[in-house]
Amino acid sequence: MNREKIEKKIAAFFFTPASWGPLLALRTGLAAVLLLQAGLVGPAVLELYGRGGWLQGTLGDLLGSSDLWGFSQLAQVLSPLGISADTLVLVTAILYVMGLLMLLVGLKVRLSGALVWLTHLFLTGAQITSYGVDEFANIFLFYLMIAGTGCRPSVRAGFWLRVMQLHLAFAYLMSGLDKAMGIQWWNGEAIWRTLMIPFYCGIDFSWLAQVPWLAKCLGWGTLLLEIGYPFFMWWPRTRRVWIPSIVALHLGIALFMGLGTFALTMIVLTVCLFGVSPRKGLAGLNSSWGAVWAGAAEEMAFRREPRLGGTGRRPGAYGDSAKGSPT
């Protein structure tokens, strides 16, 4: 294959116009999961970050990133205004939830995306509170903030969809390769240890010692799914197997490890980025709610767009010419 053909394939991969359906689904799904997480953590927000909380003052700053200001640092700057650390925590949490609600309904997507991304980064800056769900959520919130939104197929939608797909696929590949470098996932020890830790799961799995081959198979299956993710997600036939398998994997994590929001976040990422058709948008889910959702989103975007003088029509609307029609 010569250089020209390679360049054409790369250009077609990244710059083919696509529907906003996958990114709309991702934005809504991720906002819903983070709202659920906020509802679970909200009642204890001051117990975590307040002046007398677990991560109070300089302790939270010490555990957090050195590049980010913590609550205590901001409180010192704002103290002349009479703003305490507890007030700062509450205001940040309220702004975070408000931003999530705006993101959920598609109101001022870039503004709400920036608000959610910054407040989320601020709230999860301490390493002790940051685990998989926070890291992945913050990464894809950043992407959604930059990508924005729209109602017609566009090169921008296609480009950012590909960027997010590649990032997610690479993350799964690195996770699988990291697991494969140790012996624990090959001999089933990783599965055994996880299921036998009472903190994670209250179910008695001691019987697993009688069938060690089952733990090995579960470990091998996890390696296959994660390492195979970037290779089998691109073809429709294998994707139909990989998506439900990844969903089943994360449902198992939610059930047996108690990491519900992490599992939901990863399910949303996989289903939205690879399971929603970039040509048909949400209607590609072949369900009535998907079609209604897509239609409502397009109507909202239609109302916000400028019209051609006196015609009441959008510039470049599908009905104006065949050039804007999706293939």
If one compares 244 and 198, the residue with the highest pLDDT of the two is 244
Torsion angle defined by CA atoms of residues 184, 190, 191 and 193, in that order, rounded to the nearest 10 degrees: 130
Q: Using CA atoms, how far apart are residues 41 and 57, in angstroms rounded to an integer?
A: 19
Handedness of CA 122, 126, 127, 132 (dihedral sign): negative
- Six-digit token string for 199: 């903190």
Summarised one tens digit per residue, pLDDT across range 116-159 is: 998 888 777 654 555 678 889 999 999 999 998 887 888 999 99
Phi, psi torsion values for 291, nearest 5 degrees: -65, -40
Average pLDDT of the chain to the nearest whole number: 78
* Side-chain half-sphere CA neighbours of 292 within 13 A: 3
Q: What is the DSSP string of 249-293?
A: HHHHHHHHH--HHHHHHHHHHHIIIIISBTTTBGGGG-SHHHHHH
pLDDT for the residue 75: 62
Between 132-147 and 109-123, two packed helices, what is the crossing angle to 10 degrees? 160
Structural domain spans, the chain:
13-304
Q: Using CA atoms, how far apart are residues 53 and 50, in angstroms rounded to an integer?
A: 5
pLDDT above 90 (res 5): no
Q: Using CA atoms, how far apart are residues 73 and 56, in angstroms rounded to an integer?
A: 11
Q: How many helices (H) and strands (E) does the chain have?
A: 15, 0
pLDDT for the residue 71: 59
pLDDT above 50 (res 317): no
Q: What is the mean pLDDT of residues 230-234?
A: 93
Summarised one tens digit per residue, pLDDT across range 288-300 is: 344 434 444 444 5
Cα–Cα nearest to 294, from 281, 305, 285: 281
pTM, whole model, 2 decimals?
0.77
Summarised one tens digit per residue, pLDDT across range 254-287 is: 888 888 899 999 999 999 999 998 876 444 443 3
Phi, psi torsion values for 174, nearest 5 degrees: -65, -35
Torsion angle defined by CA atoms of residues 170, 176, 181 and 186, in that order, rounded to the nearest 10 degrees: -170
Q: How far is CA 10 from the centre of its chain?
A: 25
Q: Using CA atoms, how far apart are residues 276 and 63, in angstroms rounded to an integer?
A: 38
If one counts every other C-beta atom within 10 angstroms of the C-beta of residue 69, the result is: 15
- Contact in structure between 176 and 227 (CB atoms under 8 Å): yes
Phi, psi torsion values for 193, nearest 5 degrees: -65, -40
Tokens 């140790």 locate to 182
Cα–Cα nearest to 161, from 148, 180, 174: 148
Q: Using CA atoms, how far apart are residues 114 and 141, in angstroms rounded to an integer?
A: 8
pLDDT above 50 (res 242): yes
The three-state secondary structure class of 321 is coil
Beta bridge partners of 154: 18
Least confident stretch, 94-98, 202-206, 255-259: 202-206
pLDDT grade, residue 309 (50/70/90)? very low
